[in-house]
Amino acid sequence: MVTIIPRRLLLAPVLLATAAAAMPVTGVASTISLNSSGAMTYTYQFLWSNPSSPTISNDYDLAVPGQYTFSDTFLSQQPASPNLSTSSVGAYDFQDSYRFTIGADASGDTLVASLGLGNTFDITNMQFRLYEVPTSTTAPIVGGIPSGSTLITAWMGPPSGSNEVQASFSGIQAGTYILDVAGIASGTDGGTYYGQLNVNPAVPLPASLPLALSGLGALWAVSRGRGAGSLIHPTRAPLPG
């Protein structure tokens, strides 16, 4: 499951749609293998202030089953405009892209929640998307998704009046995926999010991948996904006429 909650730090809203948004990124990242648990940092981070030069960190090989955490903290306020880019959810000033590979089919679902602490510490337009990439070295981009990628879920954010968004992912198979987390750290003291990725063994029928992403503040919450299954009834041969 994924839960997002803004925390107390410095980041203000920024609106910036640029031509660089669709530019692919090149660079070399180290690969870290995590066995059943561990913390991830973003593989790529794009910011409104320099969208064509992202910060590059680590890739991850994740064992199945496993519980993995990820988080980020912003220590300066982002401006109201321009932005890094805009999606159907809203404008965003940062995009953290987590690239991970799983070696076995996985199951689960996703919950994303956002919690603000007033004007002091908040992340607005918190959103995420998930897609499979064709190779373990395919780099993320801002705006669209890399050529040859398969979109699993488009940008999703909380519906009006709610601080949670839920989505189930079916047919998650062994391969390399990118989870993009984006938003605007709009509090006067910035913002933070915290996430948890739960990877469960696949059941015989297609299931989904649980992602838990939570924004972290004075309090934090992590929601866990529950796998979904279905029943198959045998086909009965027609009776003789």
Size of the chain, expressed as the number of residues it contains: 241
Coil/strand/helix, residue 20: helix
Query: What is the count of structural domains for the chain?
Result: 1
Under a CB-based contact definition with an 8 Å cutoff, are residues 101 and 186 in contact?
A: no
Tell me the residue range of the domain where 129 lies. 19-215
CB atoms within 10 A of CB 24: 10
Give residue-wise pLDDT tens across range 125-152. 988 899 999 999 999 999 999 999 999 8
Q: First-to-last CA distance in the chain? A: 52
Residue 157 placed within a domain: yes
> Cα dist. 44→35, 47, 171, 240 in Å?
22, 10, 26, 64
105 residue type, one letter: D
Task: Name the residue among 221, 136, 227, 129 with its Cα closest to residue 182.
Answer: 129
Residue 38 placed within a domain: yes
Q: What does pLDDT average to in each consecutive run of 10 residues of the chain (241 residues)?
A: 37 27 55 94 96 95 89 86 94 96 75 60 87 96 96 86 66 89 89 80 59 46 42 42 52
Residue 75 placed within a domain: yes
Residue 12 placed within a domain: no
Unique residue bearing structure tokens 């699993």: 152
Under a CB-based contact definition with an 8 Å cutoff, are residues 93 and 83 in contact?
A: yes
From CA 218, how far away is CA 117, in angstroms rounded?
A: 8
pTM for this model (two decimals)? 0.73
Token pair for residue 110? Answer: 């996703």
Residue 107 placed within a domain: yes
Residue 111 placed within a domain: yes
Can you give the pLDDT at residue 83? 96
Can you give the pLDDT at residue 231? 28
Can you give the pLDDT at residue 134? 97
Task: Name the residue among 166, 168, 150, 146 with its Cα closest to residue 158.
Answer: 166
Residue 129 placed within a domain: yes
Residue 88 placed within a domain: yes
Token pair for residue 145? Answer: 């998704």
